[in-house]
Amino acid sequence: MTRAFLSLGSNLGDRRKYLQEAVGSLGASMGTAVVAVSPVYETDPVGGPDQGRFLNLVVELDTDLTARQLLAACHRLESGAGRVRLERWGPRTLDVDILWIDGTTVAEPDLEVPHPRMFERLFVLAPLADLAPELVDADVMDRAQGQVHPAGHLEGWEPADG
């Protein structure tokens, strides 16, 4: 099993419900085990059109999936939430991105690991730092775009240690 981190966000509909259902779907049947779930943060959108605020969190997984298989699982979660891709960085019921997979680097047109913009976005770095502070440099956090506001924990999941 390999340690991996996913970023989940939602800014349409019942945002917490979409996050809860996605995290609940990340289980053994997908070749993954949820190790930890960060606190939830409410965030302003970064880039894209004018739209509502997001709820964001990061999930730590143990997985035996390859990066490509994990990407397919992320797309299945988004489809299950009824995500429609009309506009880049537009509003969405669920957005699931692979942030990091220990020991893995991928540079393909439709998949980059580590995520190419993760160190620019505070809505990714704040919850990632809650789970894996060794991956997040304080100077990088200070330069990241956006603002984050603590929004509690995802119901049914224990707060992350740290």
Residue 162 pLDDT: 40
Which of 10, 73, 12, 72 shows the shortest CA–CA distance to 42?
A: 10
Residue 89 pLDDT: 58
Tally of domains within the chain: 1
- Domain of 109, in residue numbers: 2-150
Query: Is residue 83 flagged as an active site residue?
Result: yes
Which of 121, 126, 124 shows the shortest CA–CA distance to 162?
A: 126
Query: Is residue 53 flagged as an active site residue?
Result: no
- Say how far apart CA 69 and CA 78 lie, in whole Å: 14
Asked, for residue 34, whether it belongs to a domain, the answer is: yes
Within 8 A by CB and 6+ apart from 116, the residues are: none
Within 8 A by CB and 6+ apart from 5, the residues are: 58, 59, 60, 61, 98, 99, 100, 101, 128, 131, 132, 135
In the set 15, 92, 121, 130, the catalytic residue is 92
Average pLDDT, consecutive stretches of 10 residues, N- to C-terminus, the chain (162 residues): 95 93 82 93 78 91 95 89 64 90 94 92 95 94 92 77 44
Residue 49 pLDDT: 62
Asked, for residue 155, whether it belongs to a domain, the answer is: no
Asked, for residue 146, whether it belongs to a domain, the answer is: yes
Residue 52 pLDDT: 81
Query: Is residue 50 flagged as an active site residue?
Result: no
Residue 83 pLDDT: 66
Q: Cis before residue 45, ω within 30 degrees of 0?
A: no
In the set 3, 76, 88, 97, the catalytic residue is 97
Asked, for residue 161, whether it belongs to a domain, the answer is: no
The CATH code of the domain that includes 81 is 3.30.70.560
Asked, for residue 159, whether it belongs to a domain, the answer is: no
Amino acid letter, 122: L
Query: Is residue 161 flagged as an active site residue?
Result: no
In the set 83, 88, 110, 130, the catalytic residue is 83
In the set 95, 121, 130, 143, the catalytic residue is 95
Asked, for residue 57, whether it belongs to a domain, the answer is: yes
Cβ contact 75:42 at 8 Å = no
Residue 125 pLDDT: 96
